[in-house]
């Protein structure tokens, strides 16, 4: 294997590793960005619903008097495909309003009721879904119920939330782009190596030639090789002449 081929293979291997590492890092970054955007979207939706409920309670209504909230949560659910359901329940665990109207009046999971004991947001993780929620308080800060969003684990941001990077990673064009970049880099590397090794190649051709006639070349290394070869030829002629004279003297004696 020639030196040039070894260098080309080394460059190709390095570029493959670099592109693979870049693709892997880009995929991880996109996945992290997607999760952050999705979490922010869900938190915003929960905060909007919580503010809606609290504003109605602030004018003196009770949880049982929020019938106008039903179409509001159904509209929010329709605009958020990743949200499986939106539920509003009492502190006793009775489901008061839900995007699944057939479930109204049933008991919510016990974990939801226990989560009302903590301040702020609460999160529950399942195998195929996750639940985020917030507790609803009265004027004294006592929990009187809660609101919960059940979200599909596979849900992804849609519309304006989705970024060009996520769009690129969801298609094969990024892979083809990486392969095209690799081929272009290999071609550029081979061309650069040919230019770099051209003087050495010309010099080697000069030293390997049987004649010593100067040839036109713009490479200083090749010109130096021709000068060195002419010097060697002259030295060989002088050496041959000296040996011939010595042999002549031997014959005379």
For residue 19, CA distances in Å to 12, 15, 27, 168, 176 come to 10, 6, 12, 16, 12
Asked if pLDDT for residue 29 goes beyond 80, the answer is no
**Cα angle, residue 81 at apex, residues 75 and 85 outer, rounded to 5°:** 65
**Mean pLDDT, to the nearest integer, of 3-21?**
70
- At residue 159 the predicted structure's pLDDT band, cuts being 50, 70 and 90, is very low
C-alpha angle 99/104/105, rounded to 5°?
160
Q: What percent of the chain has pLDDT over 90?
A: 7
Interval 163-168 mean pLDDT: 50
pLDDT of residue 160: 43
DSSP bridge pairs for 133: 122, 148
pLDDT at 156: 56
pLDDT tens-digit map of 214-224: 555 556 766 77
End-to-end CA distance of the chain: give it in Å, rounded.
56
Cα 112 from chain centroid (whole Å): 36
Model pLDDT for residues 189-203, shown as the tens digit of each residue = 677 767 666 776 676
Structure tokens, 227 = 């000068």
Closest among 236, 215, 237 to 227, alpha carbons compared: 215
- Per DSSP, the residues of 162-185 read S-HHHHHHTSTHHHHHHHHHHHHH
For the stretch 36-53, pLDDT in tens is: 777 787 888 888 888 888
Q: What is the pLDDT of residues 54-107, one digit of tens each?
A: 888 888 888 888 888 888 888 888 888 788 899 999 989 999 999 988 888 899
> Residue 95's pLDDT is what?
92
pTM equals 0.52
Q: What are phi and psi of 150, to 5 degrees?
A: -100, 120
Asked if residues 54 and 136 have their Cβ atoms less than 8 Å apart, the reply is yes
């Amino acid at each position: 294997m020639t030196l040039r081929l070894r260098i080309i293979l080394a460059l190709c291997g390095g570029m493959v590793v670099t592109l693979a590492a870049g693709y892997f890092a880009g995929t991880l970054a996109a996945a992290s960005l997607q999760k952050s955007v999705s979490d922010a979207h869900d938190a915003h939706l929960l905060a909007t619903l919580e503010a809606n409920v609290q504003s109605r309670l602030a004018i003196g209504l009770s949880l049982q008097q929020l019938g106008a909230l039903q179409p509001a949560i159904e509209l929010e659910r329709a605009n958020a495909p990743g949200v499986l359901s939106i539920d509003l329940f009492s502190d006793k665990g009775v489901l008061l309003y839900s995007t699944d109207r057939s479930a109204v009046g049933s008991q919510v999971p016990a974990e939801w009721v226990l989560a009302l004991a903590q301040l702020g947001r609460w999160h529950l993780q399942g195998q195929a879904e996750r639940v985020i929620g917030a507790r609803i308080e009265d004027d004294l800060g006592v929990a009187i119920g809660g609101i919960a969003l059940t979200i599909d684990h596979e849900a992804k941001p849609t519309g304006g939330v989705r970024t060009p990077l996520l769009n690129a990673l969801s298609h094969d064009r990024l892979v083809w782009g990486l392969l095209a970049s690799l081929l272009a880099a290999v071609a550029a590397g081979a061309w650069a190596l040919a230019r770099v090794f051209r003087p050495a190649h010309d010099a080697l051709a000069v030293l390997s030639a049987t004649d010593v006639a100067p040839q036109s070349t713009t490479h200083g290394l090749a010109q130096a090789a021709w000068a060195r070869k002419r010097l060697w030829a002259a030295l060989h002629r002088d050496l041959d002449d000296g040996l011939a004279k010595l042999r002549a003297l031997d014959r005379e004696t």
